[in-house]
């Protein structure tokens, strides 16, 4: 019973811990004061506070089982992360915060972006329509050629399965015209952790949990630095 439950949450668990502030994929605006969120190859999932807490609790269950000596450190680091994110959100200028959108509004916004891609609307026309939803900035991302997408996907998969190290992946990215991505280190760690949990690999889990804790502490330090900058 415990085995299948552990496997069921492992993928989400890794995302929750290592990307606890992932943005909702259909949000159509990012203000200048937003907390930066690095995006990988796949869309991030949106975790509301309740879901994030549930997954963090499952993580703490694993910590209790495999590295109980670090349990208090984990609790403190997770609590600090939540507090820092809350403070940063409160510091964000009101007019820069993402508007609260209904599902209907999100669909209309998505349609506006599709009309720009298809040529039915110009960027200026789209910008005017988006203002009706409280969105002041038009944001679109250049479409990558299908061949390039496949190459990027292959690099990402090779990092996950261990065929490439993060450093080698960054070099491959540079050959394709991209600067190196620090995210590979995180993605590799997430992938290893997910696989270890699914395989019930006790040795690997014990090895990875301290690394994940250190990574979370580094994230907290970065958030603390950003908060200090906003207070100046």
Q: Residue 6 pLDDT more than 70?
A: no
Which pTM was predicted?
0.49
Q: What is the pLDDT of residue 65?
A: 96
Quickly state the pLDDT bin for 123 (edges 50, 70, 90): confident
Contacts for 129 with CB less than 8 Å, ≥ 6 apart: 112, 121
What ranges in the chain are assigned the alpha helix state H?
A: 2-18, 49-66, 71-91, 103-118, 123-131, 146-160, 166-175, 183-198, 202-230
Give Cα 51 to chain centroid, integer Å: 15
Q: Judge whether 59 and 17 are in contact, CB under 8 Å.
A: yes
Give Cα 118 to chain centroid, integer Å: 29
Span 197-206, average pLDDT: 91
Nearest Cα to Cα of residue 79 among 129, 20, 163: 20
Greater pLDDT, 141 or 203: 203
Nearest-angstrom CA–CA distance, 196 and 212: 13
Share of the chain above pLDDT 70, in %: 65
Q: Residue 78 pLDDT more than 70?
A: yes
Q: What is the pLDDT of residue 45?
A: 38
Q: Residue 24 pLDDT more than 50?
A: no
> What is the torsional sign of CA 189, 194, 199, 203?
positive
Quickly state the pLDDT bin for 201 (edges 50, 70, 90): very high
Q: What is the pLDDT of residue 203?
A: 94
How confident is the prediction for the chain on average, in pLDDT? 72
3-class DSSP assignment, residue 12: helix
Nearest-angstrom CA–CA distance, 130 and 185: 36
Q: Judge whether 12 and 197 are in contact, CB under 8 Å.
A: no
Q: What is the pLDDT of residue 179?
A: 56
């Amino acid at each position: 019973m415990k085995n299948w439950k552990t496997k069921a949450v492992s993928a989400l668990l890794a995302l929750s811990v290592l990307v606890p502030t992932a943005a909702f994929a259909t949000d159509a605006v990012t203000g200048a004061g937003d907390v930066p969120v690095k995006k990988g190859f796949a869309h991030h999932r949106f975790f509301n506070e309740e879901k994030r807490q549930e997954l963090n609790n499952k993580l703490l269950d694993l910590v209790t089982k495999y590295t109980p000596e670090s349990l208090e450190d984990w609790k403190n680091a997770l609590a600090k992360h939540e507090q820092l994110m809350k403070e940063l959100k409160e510091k964000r200028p009101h007019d820069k915060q993402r508007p609260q959108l209904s599902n209907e509004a999100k669909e209309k916004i998505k349609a506006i972006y599709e009309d720009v891609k298809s040529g039915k609307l110009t960027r200026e026309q789209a910008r005017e329509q988006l203002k009706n939803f409280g969105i002041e900035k038009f944001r679109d991302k250049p479409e990558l050629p299908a061949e390039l997408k496949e190459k990027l996907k292959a690099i990402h998969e090779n990092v996950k399965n261990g065929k490439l190290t993060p450093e080698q992946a960054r070099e491959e990215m540079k050959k394709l015209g991209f600067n190196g991505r620090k995210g590979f280190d995180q993605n590799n760690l997430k992938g290893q952790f997910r696989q270890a949990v699914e395989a019930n690999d006790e040795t690997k889990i014990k090895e990875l949990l301290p690394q994940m804790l250190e990574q979370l502490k580094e994230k907290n330090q970065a958030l603390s630095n950003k908060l200090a900058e906003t207070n100046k």
